Amino acid sequence: MLNIINLRPSQLVELDPLIEQSDVRLGDQADELLELINQVLPPPPTQAEPEADMDEDKAQMEEGEKKP
């Protein structure tokens, strides 16, 4: 369960390795599980957000250095 939360699979190919014998255990419910995951869990964070935060921090530091 924790792997599903951490990895947020959005396709069957991503879910299959997380659940042993998923085709036998879940069958047609795998698609329903994927829909539920997409509805309940937020999308994974993107790589661009941390870079944007770093740019803001860098700009603030440079402004602080310029002030007497």
26 contacts 33 by C-beta, under 8 angstroms:
yes
Name the token pair of 52. Answer: 């944007």
Q: What's residue 41's pLDDT?
A: 87
Asked if pLDDT for residue 62 goes beyond 80, the answer is no
The predicted-structure confidence for 8-55, as pLDDT tens digits, reads as follows 888 889 888 998 888 888 888 989 999 999 899 887 777 555 555 566
CA distance 41 to 13: 18
Q: Can you list the positions of beta strands (E) in the chain?
A: none
Supply the pTM of this predicted model.
Answer: 0.57
**Single-letter residue type at 47:** Q
Q: What's residue 22's pLDDT?
A: 82
Name the token pair of 36. Answer: 């539920």
| Phi then psi dihedrals of residue 14, to 5 deg | -85, -30
